[in-house]
Amino acid sequence: MSNPALVVRDLTKSYDGRPVVDRLSMEAHAGQVTAVLGPNGAGKTTTIECCEGLRTPDSGEIRVLGMDPAAEASAARARVGVMLQDGGLPSGARALEVLTHVSTMYARPRSVDDLVDRLGLAGFAGTTVRRLSGGQRQRLALAIAVVGRPELVFLDEPSAGLDPQSRRAVWDLVRELRDTGVAIVLTTHLMDEAENLADRVYVVDHGSVVAEGTTEQLLAGREQTIRVETSTGLDVAIAASLLSQDTGSDWNAVEESPGVYLLHGEVTPAALRATTTWLVQADALAHRISTGRRTLEDVFLELTGRTLR
């Protein structure tokens, strides 16, 4: 594999003595989507902003296309695209003017018309940035991030809050960038975004990587789940022990939210029988029992004991 487009080694950043990024290491490669997945406050934005040269790390090493983003900021900026969560766009300028202006700053920009078309910007081309809705601003920020044909793009929550059609347009564009060899780093707390787009996922909690791998690797192993919706306060330890005993394989169980239980193991008829035995013993009526594939949400919950949002 070629040199990574992004290398982060042992990155640490504290605010007022409180570490929000804690010896975090990650890589991103050309032609891949790398997702940094974690709950609010996990340190995703801080990490990405250090990579963009917008914040100064306390310690650690960052290489962006082989460059130090702080010391070689202008050289890096020419080859790196950035979509910030808060836009960072001039509020009094009109949407299309901003995009066109940014495009003239690059030697070989993408077609502005094509981006307008792909991301549905025409409907608000003449609207000033301050009057754009959150979703419109996000799509404009994405167009600006990619108009200069960057080799590496940072996208902070690219499709959060978008309607389904805009979301699809954003995902299609991200996939196309990936297929043309761009390295894409996206932060998200949206499971389906990571599952649909990412080639590699870093799960971050409290400023550190708690798991990493391809989506398949993270979802491998106990691939199946029995989800039970019933009353609250059931003992998950009893469920895990009954299931393990009756199936002869390992099971674990968590209460995902009040009254919703996720039982992870190899789903067999015996496992379903043990599940109903557990409910009968607890004198609980299930409103719904379903079986399904394990999701990144389940992985995250098992690793951290917390839901993503």
Complex with ligand ATP: residue 15 or 245, whichever CB lies closer: 15
Find all residues with CB under 8 Å of 65, minimum gap 6, and list them: 5, 6, 76, 79, 80, 151, 152
Q: Look at strands 152-156 and 80-83 and give their pairing.
A: parallel
Complex with ligand ATP: residue 40 or 104, whichever CB lies closer: 40
Helix (H, G, I), strand (E, B) or coil at 61: strand
CB of 170 to ligand ATP, least distance (A): 18
CB of 187 to ligand ATP, least distance (A): 6
CB of 106 to ligand ATP, least distance (A): 28
Separation of alpha carbons 271 and 308, rounded Å: 28
Complex with ligand ATP: residue 32 or 208, whichever CB lies closer: 208
Complex with ligand ATP: residue 43 or 53, whichever CB lies closer: 43
CB of 207 to ligand ATP, least distance (A): 7
Complex with ligand ATP: residue 40 or 165, whichever CB lies closer: 40
Complex with ligand ATP: residue 139 or 189, whichever CB lies closer: 189
- CA–centroid distance for 194 within its chain: 5
CB of 45 to ligand ATP, least distance (A): 3
Element (H, E) at 159: none
Applying CB under 6 A, the residues found at the interface with ligand ATP are 15, 20, 38, 40-46, 189
Complex with ligand ATP: residue 38 or 81, whichever CB lies closer: 38
Question: Do 239 and 261 contact (CB within 8 A), yes or no?
Answer: yes
Separation of alpha carbons 278 and 272, rounded Å: 10
Which of 8, 30, 309, 45 minimizes the C-alpha distance to 155?
45
Helix (H, G, I), strand (E, B) or coil at 124: helix
Complex with ligand ATP: residue 148 or 207, whichever CB lies closer: 207
Helix (H, G, I), strand (E, B) or coil at 262: strand
- Both tokens assigned to 67: 């460059």
CB of 25 to ligand ATP, least distance (A): 16
CB of 38 to ligand ATP, least distance (A): 5
Sign of the torsion formed by the C-alpha atoms of 76, 77, 80 and 83: positive
- Both tokens assigned to 18: 């409180």
Within 10 Å of residue 167's Cβ, how many Cβ atoms? 19
Find all residues with CB under 8 Å of 151, minimum gap 6, and list them: 5, 30, 65, 79, 80, 181, 182, 183
CB of 22 to ligand ATP, least distance (A): 11
